Amino acid sequence: MNVNEINALVLAYLGDAIYEIYIRKYLIQKGINKVNDLQKFAVNYVSAKSQASFLNYLIKNEILNEKELSIVKRARNAKVGSHPKRVDILTYKHATALEALIGYLYILNEEDRIKFIMDLITEEISNDSIW
């Protein structure tokens, strides 16, 4: 299977699940042990606004390589049928692009790279430096 032939929105669909698992694991490792609290905190980190901010952080700090940036651009420019009403389309497309990047790396079995990116994201969460 050629990962470059996979629809960018399909990569985002997969990446969304992987991203959510990393965030949930991070929150559990932080010692949050009540499901309601986990859900409350997780929503803040998996929201389109948060994901768009994280993607902008990765781009601004030149963390992504050329192939990764190519996937991000392909996903960001993909035609979406709809988006949540409470999120503007640009924010939604940036969030989708981050999810597609994670899905792309997962398909390629680039788990070390996913971990590196997610560690940066969770470090930013801890530092609240991008909020």
| Enzyme catalytic residues | 16
Other Cβ atoms within 10 Å of 98 Cβ, number: 29
By CB neighbour count within 10 A (0-12 exposed, 13-18 middle, 19+ buried), where does 41 fall?
middle
Q: At what angle do helices 35-46 and 8-29 cross, to 10 degrees?
A: 140
Give the separation between CA 77 and CA 71, rounded to whole angstroms. 10
Q: Taking a C-beta distance cutoff of 8 angstroms, is the pair 96, 73 a contact? A: no
